[in-house]
Amino acid sequence: MEDLLKGAYDLHIHTAPDVVQRKCGDLELARRLVHRGMAGCAIKNHYFDTAVRAKLLQEQFPQLRVAGGVTLNRSVGGVNPDAVERSAQAGGKLVWFPTLEARSYQQYQHRNEPSADLSRFLSVCDEKGNLLPQALEVLDVATRHQMVVGTGHIGADEGMALVRAAAERGCTVVLTHADNPADCYSIQQQQEAVALGAYVEHSFFTTYHNRTSIEEIARQIRAVGCEHVLLTTDFGQLNSLYSDEGMEEYARVLMTQGFTAKELGIMMRQVPERLLEGMSSAD
């Protein structure tokens, strides 16, 4: 299993400092990745831009490729093109649409509370399902700076609207943890997304914490093909494994579903490298 981690990436990790306690900080994460022979990572925060943190970590660990970026929750002004522009200027490579403050995510979290007031939370579409002007501006900024766009925790219909608009612009989109019950994409939606040039992310978080079975993950991967899939952990929680441990365990359980070392290499090395190369070309 050590060989499977050699050269692997985890492009979805939550580290300290953060507004909640995390499994480890940036430095400990980097040391662990180097020790396991992994090639790089992306550090994510729901509320703060991680571009500068990633750049500092990259300087201290030149053998790694480290990416950061901005998540468009209320602390950065919501769906805010200016925040994306500044992140890109600081070296940000990724932009995620709203996550914990996405209205659709909050609707799922409060699905048993029909009277809950969710008006303060964020959507990327209007009542008719059309993308808001500022969401289109975010895609324009991301395209100009060759940032990779993650759909975050917005609903699948909203995410597909982003995919279609991004395809018109030549912007790369990743369906963030597409199997998560809070924002899950159907097989048909995933197939349409990859046909338009998007990638599908599957994070070990949903399987490790019993949200989505490994059998369902395998079914979804087979439906679109490994060459369109990015494996990550989405770890950083105190009750989760470390990122390197999570990637190793994810590989192990996917092998029980018939995936080969070559196929895992595509999803853990080749696809993230392809995404990072696209980001690097803007430098």
**What whole-number distance in Å separates Cα of residue 104 and Cα of residue 102?**
6
Looking at the domain 2-280, which fold is it? TIM Barrel (3.20.20)
Indicate the helix (H) or strand (E) that contains 95: strand 94-96
Global pTM exceeds 0.75: yes
pLDDT per residue of the chain (283 residues) written in tens, 0 to 9: 568 899 999 999 999 999 999 999 999 999 999 999 999 999 999 999 999 999 999 999 999 999 999 999 999 999 999 999 999 999 999 999 999 999 999 999 999 998 899 999 999 999 999 999 999 999 999 999 999 999 999 999 999 999 999 999 999 999 999 999 999 999 999 999 999 999 999 999 999 999 999 999 999 999 999 999 999 999 999 999 999 999 999 999 999 999 999 999 999 999 999 999 877 544 4
Q: Phi/psi class of residue 180: alpha, beta or left (left: φ > 0; alpha: ψ in -120 to 50)? A: beta
Query: Please, what is the Cα angle at 216 between 213 and 218, to 5 degrees?
Result: 110
Rounded to a whole number of angstroms, the CA Rg of the chain reads 17
Give strand pairing partners of 175.
200
Q: Which of 262, 186, 254 is nearest to 224 (CA)?
A: 186
Answer yes or no: are the C-beta atoms of 162 and 198 closer than 8 Å: no
